[in-house]
Amino acid sequence: MVKKNLAIGLSVVMAASMLAGCGGKEAAPETTKAAAVETQQTEAAKTEGETEAAKESSGENVTITYISSTILESPEGDFEKKCIEEFNALGNGITVEVEGVSANDLMKKYITLATSDSMPDFFLANMLDTATIVDMGLAAEIAPIFGQDYVDGFESVSLASASVDGVAYGAPWFSGASGIVYRKDIFDEKGVAVPKSWDEFVEVSKALTGDGAYGNTLVGANNGSGAGRFQYVIRNFGVDEFILGDDGKWTTDIGSQKYIDALRAYTDLDVTYHTCPPGVIETDYPTAVNLFSSGKAAMLITGSNAIGAITSQVPELKGKLGSFPVPAVERSVSTPGGFGYFITPGKHEKESAEFIKFMLEKERALEFSVMTGRLPTRTETLDDPSINDMPELAGFLEARQTVYETPNIPGYSEINDVHGQAYQSVFTGESTVEEAAAKAQKRAQEICDAANEG
């Protein structure tokens, strides 16, 4: 378990420090000083907690801390800042204080904070990391905080993404669907049709490449954004990253022939067909959006949130975008994705819930979804015509009819680097497809073994 691994890691560090001090006689005074400091810090924390409790009981304002990645993004950031200002102006005795951390660094941040017992009152996280968050003991169950009736108001797919063993630990803020967004104006100019199969996708990519423009842009960076988009492809090739058997043991498809075929198809877009702009391994999500928005690339494998990022950058592209599902090979599935709010156990749970419910109110959630392309998570909001009538979302909503169920295996957050190293090593020529797949299989099996032992 991650929590167990964190404890072991800290014990190793402490043991190493003690051994390092054994060579000299000055270690004892330093140890005494450290113990005194630790005692002072503990007493200070206790006093601070008592003071905070006294403030709450007297009706004084309570400040709750929050970590968000969307606060750093566009157009999401301006919207979220506005909502926080509106909430803080309600005069309900609760003030939200936010810290921004990039989406790709969230889990590293939380692991660091968890080791020092410094988690915020509530925090935003990719719902793919729910199992890891729960395994570390970082999130409270939400039903006792919000009430079961409120929890039942979440759309089932989104709620399942924020749950472990049927217990909800996160309140989904927004979801998404995997697909491919394309430039309708470029397709019309070149006279090409929307592809229905992977082979057609390759042919369209080749037809749209030339004169300094490219058929598609891939997020080839080794991070969550890159790995997430690679997952959209491998899952349609039939790859199940982790499978929980009837015996309660985890196995993996990573490294199988299906994985090899998917890895080859994905990397061939750049290595063999040259339908991607140069520098694919340095292409992160913002760069890919820039390439697409500027017309350097006509297609982008992505989630529905890209629509908001693109149109906020180039408003003239509103009405010129379309979407279609990632072409099926063995099957057609959509990765739900999305981020949710998680509440730190025992730390202003009710106050945090008040802000979360404020953000999820229907009109506010609709405004956010129409602006960003991110899909709402409350059933009443998702069913609103303003969502279903957006032409840019048509392909994503079609893809969402069959959703891939993300495995809740501890250590799942490591999979981003497993996939990232695989496709990057093929892009650079460091490894063949088979070699890269074999390395990925070894690491995936280690994740299975750790989960099976836990």
Per the CB < 8 A criterion, the answer to whether 435 and 234 are in contact is: no
φ/ψ of residue 276, rounded to 5: -115, 150
The Cβ-side half-sphere exposure at 258, using a 13 Å CA radius, reads 16
Could you list the beta-strand ranges (E) of 127-236.
163-164, 167-168, 170-175, 178-183
d(CA 301, CA 181): 7
* pTM for this prediction: 0.76
Strand partners, 96: 64
d(CA 71, CA 63): 18
Instruction: Name residue 432's amino acid.
Output: T
Name the residue ranges covered by the structural domains of the chain. 55-176+337-399, 178-336+406-453
330: DSSP letter: S
Residues 6+ apart with CB under 8 A from 53: none
- DSSP, collapsed to helix, strand or coil, labels residue 1 as coil
The pLDDT assigned to 59 comes to 58
Strands 94-100 and 62-68: parallel
Per the CB < 8 A criterion, the answer to whether 410 and 191 are in contact is: no
Q: For tokens 């199969």, what's the residue?
A: 197
Q: What is the DSSP string of 338-363?
A: -EEEEE-TTSSHHHHHHHHHHHTSHH
Strands 178-183 and 299-303: antiparallel
The Cβ-side half-sphere exposure at 400, using a 13 Å CA radius, reads 23
178-336+406-453 matches 55-176+337-399 in CATH topology: yes
Instruction: Name residue 368's amino acid.
Output: F
d(CA 172, CA 377): 6
CA terminus-to-terminus distance, the chain:
5
Per the CB < 8 A criterion, the answer to whether 275 and 223 are in contact is: no
Q: For tokens 């959703």, what's the residue?
A: 403
d(CA 311, CA 191): 23
d(CA 55, CA 57): 6
The pLDDT assigned to 389 comes to 84
Could you list the beta-strand ranges (E) of 1-132.
62-68, 94-100, 122-126
Per-residue pLDDT of the chain (454 residues; tens, 9 = 90+): 434 444 433 333 333 333 333 333 333 333 333 333 334 334 444 444 444 444 444 457 999 999 999 999 989 999 999 999 999 999 999 999 999 999 989 999 999 999 999 999 999 999 989 989 999 999 999 999 999 999 999 999 899 999 999 999 999 999 988 999 999 999 999 999 999 999 999 999 999 999 999 999 999 999 989 999 999 999 999 999 999 999 999 999 999 999 999 999 999 999 999 999 999 999 999 999 999 999 999 999 999 989 989 998 999 999 999 999 999 999 999 887 799 999 999 989 999 999 999 999 999 999 999 899 899 999 999 999 988 888 899 999 899 888 888 888 888 889 999 999 999 999 999 999 999 999 999 999 999 999 999 7
Span 55-176+337-399: which CATH code? 3.40.190.10
Span 178-336+406-453: which CATH code? 3.40.190.10
Instruction: Name residue 254's amino acid.
Output: I
Per the CB < 8 A criterion, the answer to whether 373 and 308 are in contact is: yes
